[in-house]
Amino acid sequence: MPNPKRRHSKTRGAKRRTHDTLTAATTGLCPQCQEPKAPHRICPHCGFYRQRQVRAVEEE
């Protein structure tokens, strides 16, 4: 296996790592209950997906 002949500088390593950040998960509002929810998922608060009741949710 080849090994590096010289040490890479701190700047060079930092340049390589510029794209290694995590992005926050996007959220939207449920059109039924206006609670935040992940896109393309059933709303955990009201159980609706695409204006249809998909899952029964017990009332609190």
**Mean model confidence pLDDT for the chain:** 91
pLDDT at 10: 94
Greater model confidence, 20 or 57: 20
In a domain, 4, yes or no: no
In a domain, 39, yes or no: yes
Q: What pLDDT band is residue 28 in, cutting at 50, 70 and 90?
A: very high
In this model, does residue 36 exceed pLDDT 80?
Answer: yes
In a domain, 37, yes or no: yes
Number of independent structural domains in the chain: 1
In a domain, 21, yes or no: no
* pLDDT (average), residues 21-47: 93
In a domain, 20, yes or no: no
In a domain, 42, yes or no: yes
pLDDT at 26: 93
In a domain, 2, yes or no: no
Beta strands in 1-60 (DSSP E): 28-29, 36-37, 48-49, 52-53
Domain that holds residue 45: 26-52
